[in-house]
């Protein structure tokens, strides 16, 4: 089987140690399986994008010795593909327009799910206000979605009751991450998705969309999330420090250590090439295919 992996950062700020761990895991998994490793910049949400963040991320990845295959794919150039997928879902009657405001939803929702109010399907059962540009929601089926995570084992989620009918295109015209990510994973032939466990609760939604569009499912592996001393996930919101561009080997070794690869002490003063060579052979490749 041909292995295609990827790293898909959102340019909302510089890379931090948490993003390094996710990148290292997907890179080692791809390389240990003689696979390709693609880089995709998920710059879908232009308003939330930080100017210069894409270039900064690319520069940092290069400084850490990551080498990607082919051209970088930018989601900002992919609207036509996302619209085609949405149109297909419309044809199949698997989505419906929604003109509810956020406030109406929180005021009328009776159930709370893992990501806030469960949309009470108001617009599924009433004619919508044609003067407003609608958002588009995916009609979630009444069934459990299961998948076997390579690191965490069998996972299951009832998307209808735990998340609800989720938005795949917002009223302001922006496509949602859930749709864009599966359209691009399919278009790029991605076979293995290795990413942080903060995205574990998104996977069932992505599997439902893949089923609806007739896409094959990649193999998923979710890696542990890095926390700060306050027990918060490292992120831009928790002011995670940007990855420094010096002492690259030290930070790579910290990432290897976090991923329980147990790097030898001498590696921190070795070159980044030596670090990679060591990590790729140390990575438990066979457990991931």
Among the listed ranges 45-53, 81-89, 97-105, 192-200, the one in contact with Zn ion (CB under 5 A) is: 97-105
In the complex with ligand GLU, the residue whose CB is nearer, 225 or 280, is 225
How large is the greatest C-alpha to C-alpha distance in the chain, in angstroms?
67
Task: Name 108's bridge partners.
Answer: none
Quick one: what does residue 8 bind among Zn ion, ligand GLU, none, with the CB cut-off 5 to 8 Å set by partner type? ligand GLU
In the complex with Zn ion, the residue whose CB is nearer, 175 or 278, is 175
Residues 15, 39, 58, 100: which binds Zn ion (CB under 5 A)? Answer: 100
> Interface residues for Zn ion in 24-63 (CB under 5 A)?
none
In the complex with ligand GLU, the residue whose CB is nearer, 71 or 110, is 71
> Interface residues for ligand GLU in 257-276 (CB under 6 A)?
none
Q: Binding residues for ligand GLU, how many (CB under 6 A)?
A: 7
181 binds ligand GLU (CB under 6 A): yes
Residues 123, 253, 267, 285: which binds Zn ion (CB under 5 A)? Answer: 123
Report the C-alpha gap between 252 and 80 in whole angstroms: 38
In the complex with ligand GLU, the residue whose CB is nearer, 19 or 33, is 19
75 binds ligand GLU (CB under 6 A): no
Residues 3, 10, 178, 183: which binds ligand GLU (CB under 6 A)? Answer: 10
Quick one: what does residue 100 bind among Zn ion, ligand GLU, none, with the CB cut-off 5 to 8 Å set by partner type? Zn ion
Residues 137, 169, 195, 205: which binds ligand GLU (CB under 6 A)? Answer: 195
CB 192, min distance to ligand GLU, A: 11
122 binds Zn ion (CB under 5 A): yes
List interacting residues with ligand GLU (CB under 6 A). Answer: 8-10, 42, 181, 195, 199
């Amino acid at each position: 089987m041909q292995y295609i992996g990827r790293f898909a950062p959102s340019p909302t700020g510089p890379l931090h140690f948490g993003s390094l761990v996710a990148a290292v895991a997907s890179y080692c998994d791809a390389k240990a399986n003689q696979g390709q490793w693609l880089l995709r910049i998920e710059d879908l949400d232009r308003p939330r994008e930080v100017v210069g963040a894409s270039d900064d991320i690319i520069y940092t990845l290069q400084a850490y010795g990551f080498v990607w295959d082919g051209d970088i794919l930018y989601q900002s150039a992919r609207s036509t593909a996302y619209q085609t997928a949405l149109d297909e879902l419309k044809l199949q009657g698997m989505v419906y327009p929604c003109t509810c405001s956020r406030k109406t939803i929180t005021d009328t929702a009776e159930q709370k799910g893992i990501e806030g109010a469960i949309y009470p399907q108001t617009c599924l059962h009433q004619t919508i206000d044609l003067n407003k540009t609608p958002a588009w929601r995916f009609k979630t089926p009444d069934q459990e979605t299961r998948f076997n995570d390579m690191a965490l084992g069998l996972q299951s989620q009832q998307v209808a009751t735990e998340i609800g009918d989720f938005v795949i295109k917002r009223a302001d015209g922006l496509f949602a991450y859930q749709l864009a990510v599966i359209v691009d994973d399919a278009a790029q032939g991605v076979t293995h998705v290795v990413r942080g466990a903060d995205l574990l609760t998104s996977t069932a939604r992505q599997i439902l969309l893949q089923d609806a569009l007739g896409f094959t499912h990649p193999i998923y592996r979710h890696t542990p999330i890095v926390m700060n001393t306050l027990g918060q996930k490292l992120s831009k919101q928790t002011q995670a420090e940007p990855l420094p561009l010096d002492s690259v080997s030290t930070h790579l070794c910290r990432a290897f250590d976090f991923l329980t690869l147990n790097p030898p002490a001498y590696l921190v003063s070795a070159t980044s090439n030596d670090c990679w060579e060591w990590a790729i052979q140390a990575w438990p490749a066979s457990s991931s295919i």
